[in-house]
């Protein structure tokens, strides 16, 4: 249950809290708006109706939203029109497909700047690149760390692109936030709840990738952690899930895109690079993701994929990426953005 309060003072919030289960939390949603989250399951059915009537009579209570699912702040019911996340002027969730592109790892100045210039020219608005890399083998390239972050800042300065990069460890929180415009939480850390909680008081949008073996429910609850701790600028990223197939690295779960958009107001980005692990499949999956209503794409691009220090087989060369951008532009023109295609298909409200 969400109790939305407008211009409520402390005493008014306390008055509401006093009739709710002890664990209920007050979230400051905006300057004038507070939301009190109470777990519906903890309120007895026969009491719930009485409680709603009683709370509705309090002057600062604007509305009461009953949410039957366990996710509350991520629920579509809180914002039926969907959230738009403004990353210093780049709007994610606003109807246009926003493209984030760049190398899997930042490998050096020349590699990063060459890629940044190419993706910018093709029309991307956000540069991706990992400085801290979650690698399966401890002997694989682990990323350039702080030097990589500084190179990302240099690329932003030269191209004007916004930066998305991964935070793996709480100890790098401030450092990564200093260089990133969007903080990426990778698939392996989707359930690292202390890391998620630590993002609550950061003034940076977060892109939360889906755990490779996580349900949509667990993914939304992970987003709920970040939001419940005070950071409401969260977007999700579908990056494929582990299935039995060996032909692709992961299985790109396109169905999660309209599913999440039905349940949640958070924007959804699709990552066909990790979702397939094969550069040849990136373009068709990108097209499909836009048609499914994705608000943006995350695409790995490398000028020389055969020499990449990570994820070369799934990286597009700049000329292939240009083709992808032309296709995305065509799709956007055809039916408006993915969100509109989705609307036409009767998926969204």
Q: Site residues (CB under 6 A) for ligand PEP?
A: 104, 130, 134, 186-188, 209, 239, 274
Q: Does 271 bind Mn ion (CB under 5 A)?
A: no
CA dist., res. 293 & res. 261, Å (int): 8
C-alpha angle 26-27-31 in degrees, rounded to nearest 5: 120
Site string for Mn ion, 107-146 (x = CB under 5 A): ----------------------------------------
Q: How far apart are the first and last CA of the chain?
A: 21
DSSP code per residue over 253-305: -TTHHHHHHHHB-S-EEE-HHHHHS-HHHHHHHHHHHHHTT-SEEEEEB-SSG
Binding partner selected for residue 17 from ligand PEP, Mn ion, none, CB under the kind-specific 5 to 8 Å limit = none
* CA 187 to the chain's CA centroid: 11
- Among Mn ion, ligand PEP, none, what does residue 172 contact (CB within 5–8 Å per kind)? none
**CB-based contact 168:132 (threshold 8 Å):** yes
Residue 75: strand pairing partners: 264
Which of Mn ion, ligand PEP, none does residue 211 bind (CB under 5 to 8 Å by kind)?
none
Partner from ligand PEP, Mn ion, none contacting 239, C-beta within 5 to 8 A by type: ligand PEP
How many Å apart are CA 348 and CA 263, to the nearest integer? 10
The token pair that represents 138 in the structure block: 């401890």
Number of residues engaging Mn ion in binding (CB under 5 A):
2
313 is in the binding site of which of ligand PEP, Mn ion, none (Cβ under 5 to 8 A by kind)?
none
Q: Which is nearer to ligand PEP, 156 or 210 (CB)?
A: 210
148 binds, among ligand PEP, Mn ion, none (CB under 5 to 8 A by kind): none
What is the smallest separation between the CB atom of 4 and ligand PEP, expressed in angstroms?
A: 34
- The answer to whether 97 and 328 have CB atoms below 8 angstroms apart is yes
Taking the mean position of all CA atoms in its chain, how far away is CA 297?
A: 11
Residue with Cβ nearer ligand PEP (37 or 101): 101
User: What does the radius of gyration of the chain's CA atoms come to, in whole angstroms?
Assistant: 21
Q: In what order do the strands lie in the sheet with 61-65?
A: 25-28, 33-37, 2-6, 61-65
The option from ligand PEP, Mn ion, none interacting with 230 (CB < 5 to 8 A, set by class) reads none
Q: Which is nearer to ligand PEP, 67 or 185 (CB)?
A: 185
Least separation in angstroms between residue 209's CB and ligand PEP is: 4
Which of the listed partners (Mn ion, ligand PEP, none) does 120 bind, with a CB threshold of 5 to 8 Å by partner kind?
none
Nearer of residues 93 and 130 to ligand PEP, judged by Cβ? 130
DSSP conformation letters of 158-218: HH--EEEEE---GGGHHHHHHH-SEEEE-GGGTT-HHHHHHTTT-SS-EEEEPPTT--HHH
- For the CB of residue 75, give the shortest distance to ligand PEP in the complex, in Å: 25
Cβ proximity to ligand PEP, 209 vs 233, nearer residue? 209
Least CB distance to ligand PEP at residue 295 (A): 17
As measured in angstroms, the least distance from the Cβ of 315 to ligand PEP is: 10
> Considering CB distances under 5 to 8 angstroms, the limit depending on partner class, which of ligand PEP, Mn ion, none binds residue 162?
none
* Pairing assessment for the beta strands 234-238 and 85-87 based on DSSP bridges: unpaired
What's the length of the chain?
349
Span from 85-93, 100-108, 253-261, 340-348 in contact with Mn ion (CB under 5 A) = 100-108
Q: Does 311 bind Mn ion (CB under 5 A)?
A: yes
In angstroms, give the least distance from the CB of 111 to Mn ion.
14
Nearest residue relative to Mn ion (C-beta): 104
Q: Does 104 bind Mn ion (CB under 5 A)?
A: yes
> Which distant-in-sequence residues (6+ apart) come within 8 Å of 236 by Cβ?
207, 208, 209, 210, 219, 220, 223, 260, 264, 266, 267, 268, 269
Residues of this chain that bind Mn ion (CB under 5 A): 104, 311
């Amino acid at each position: 249950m969400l109790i939305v309060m407008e211009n409520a003072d402390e005493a008014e919030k306390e008055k509401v809290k006093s009739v709710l289960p002890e664990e209920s939390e007050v979230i400051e949603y905006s300057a004038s708006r507070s939301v009190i989250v109470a777990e519906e399951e903890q309120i007895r059915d026969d009491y719930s109706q009485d409680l709603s009537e009683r709370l509705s009579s309090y002057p600062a209570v604007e509305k009461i939203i009953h949410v039957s699912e366990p996710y509350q702040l991520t629920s579509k019911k809180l914002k039926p029109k969907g959230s738009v996340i403004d990353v210093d002027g780049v709007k994610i969730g606003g109807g246009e497909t926003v493209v984030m592109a760049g190398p899997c790892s930042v490998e050096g100045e020349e590699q990063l700047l060459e890629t940044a210039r190419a993706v910018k020219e093709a029309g991307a608005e956000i540069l991706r690149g990992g400085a801290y890399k979650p690698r399966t083998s401890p002997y694989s390239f682990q990323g350039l760390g702080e030097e990589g972050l500084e190179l990302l800042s240099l690329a932003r300065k030269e191209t004007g692109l916004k930066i998305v990069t991964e935070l793996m460890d709480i100890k790098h929180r401030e450092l990564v936030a200093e260089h990133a415009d969007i903080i990426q939480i990778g698939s392996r850390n989707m359930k690292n709840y202390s890391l998620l909680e630590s993002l609550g008081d950061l003034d940076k949008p977060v892109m939360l990738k889906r755990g490779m073996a996580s349900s949509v429910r667990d993914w939304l609850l992970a987003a709920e952690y970040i939001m419940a701790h005070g950071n409401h600028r969260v977007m999700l990223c579908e990056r494929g899930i582990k299935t039995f197939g060996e032909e692709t690295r992961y299985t790109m779960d396109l169905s999660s895109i309209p599913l999440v958009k039905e349940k949640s107001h958070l924007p959804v980005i699709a990552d066909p690079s990790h979702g397939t692990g094969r550069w040849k499949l990136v373009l068709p999956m990108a097209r499909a993701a836009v048609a499914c209503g994705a608000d943006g794409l995350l695409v790995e691009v490398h000028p020389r994929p055969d020499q990449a220090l990570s994820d070369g087989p799934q990286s597009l060369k700049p000329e292939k990426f240009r083709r992808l951008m032309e296709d995305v532009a065509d799709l956007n023109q055809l039916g408006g953005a993915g969100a509109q295609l989705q609307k036409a298909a009767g998926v969204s409200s």
